Amino acid sequence: MIHVLLFAQLQEAVGKDSLELQFTSITVSDLKQMLKEEYNVLSIDQAMTAINEEYAQGDTVIRDGDTVAFIPPVSGG
């Protein structure tokens, strides 16, 4: 199982701050694509990804037991 943490507008789009997904392994890119299709989270492509608190790229493999955080860009004023 993969634990997914969502923040800001991603959390609002999904309606939850976290998800538990039944995958033994999946790439970051494939997980983002699945979230776009399942939850219509189109802005996830702009989010930074961290796996177990370390930044990751699209081809990084997420494994069973990992925690993935999607961190959207922050704007301020």
What phi and psi, each to the nearest 5 degrees, are found at residue 10? -70, -40
Q: What is the dihedral of CA 26, 32, 33, 34, to 10 degrees?
A: 70
Helices (H), the chain: 8-14, 28-39
Domains and CATH numbers, the chain: 2-71 (3.10.20.30)
What is the reported pTM?
0.91
Q: What percent of the chain has pLDDT over 90?
A: 88
pLDDT digits (tens, 9 = 90+) for 26-63: 999 999 999 999 999 989 999 999 999 999 999 999 99
Structure confidence at residue 74 as a pLDDT band (50, 70, 90): confident
CA distance between the termini of the chain: 38
